[in-house]
Amino acid sequence: MAIDERHAEVALAVQATLGEGPVWDDRRNELFFVDIVAGRVHRFCPERGEHGSFAVGPSVGALALREDGGLVLAAHDGFFLVEADGTGLAPLSAFRSDAELVRFNDGKADPHGRFVAGTMDWDGERPLGSLYLLEPGGAVSVLLEGVTISNGLAWSERGDVVYYIDTPRRSVDAFDFDAASGAFANRRVVASFEGPGSPDGMTIDDEGCLWVALWGGSRVERIDPRSGEHLAVVHVAASQVTSAAFGGPRRDVLYLTTARRGLDEASLAGQPHAGDLFAVEAGVAGPVAHRFAAS
């Protein structure tokens, strides 16, 4: 079967240092995403062409929408609540990671109102990271240890399988997902990557296929996790593609975050849109983003 090829266009010239974690707010028709090392949360309304951002600290690894309309953040060394406009930033939990060794990198709300977020070695080389589960009341538990670069997360439509990426493994792994506890079990590889680029963030569509961003690969690939087949590719005019999320009124537009961190002057001259937000009509829609049930 021929692979479907598409090309993403710039949706917002934001020049993020390390853009990541896009989440579409279906209530506001807005996209939220983070610039990790700049410690900023961005908010973009495509319909009105409005864009703004606010600072939350030294770094912010991931965010999720809250049921009450605000956001939950995995930022610097802990978990925080903040309003969608950036006001009211406050810690939710007494939990603290070792910010000298690791930082947060990617996370999402699960189907039952919890927040899952992971950490990574600052240099991305040692298995010092963990994947954490944050309960609405603030309790934190460890789902996985020995993670090097904690990245993409997605849940199947039935919610019984969760997909996860630890980038250096160059694979998408699946786990059985326990709805009651949020625990992961029975790890197995469902897709592998051998070409240029390493798997980073991802999202899932309404047909159960994964859209995986390839850091250093200038593309996003659509994968069927049931067969491991690579079905489609979206080309991006930026090498460091970090993550993807479905948005738009029908949730059929794929928004892609990118980064410019670590690129030298020659590389940036060849890809002036590195760090910008891209978009492409995907030909398929995605589900509504899960929300964190902060108590």
For the domain that residue 51 is a member of, what is the CATH number?
2.120.10.30
pLDDT tens digit string along 127-145?
A: 999 999 999 999 999 999 9
Range of the domain at 269: 4-281
**% of the chain with per-residue pLDDT over 90:** 96
Residue 106: predicted pLDDT = 95
- Asked whether residue 127 is domain-assigned, the answer is yes
pLDDT tens digit string along 219-235?
A: 999 999 999 999 999 99
Residue 194: predicted pLDDT = 87
- Asked whether residue 116 is domain-assigned, the answer is yes
- Asked whether residue 117 is domain-assigned, the answer is yes
Burial of 136 (0-12, 13-18, 19+ CB in 10 A): middle
Q: Give the number of domains in the chain.
A: 1
Taken in order 243, 246, 252, 258, the sign of the CA dihedral is negative
Residue 192: predicted pLDDT = 95
- Asked whether residue 271 is domain-assigned, the answer is yes
- Asked whether residue 113 is domain-assigned, the answer is yes
pTM exceeding the 0.75 threshold for the entire prediction: yes
Buried-exposed string 151-163: b where 16+ CB fall within 10 A, e elsewhere: bbbbbbeeeebbb
- Asked whether residue 148 is domain-assigned, the answer is yes
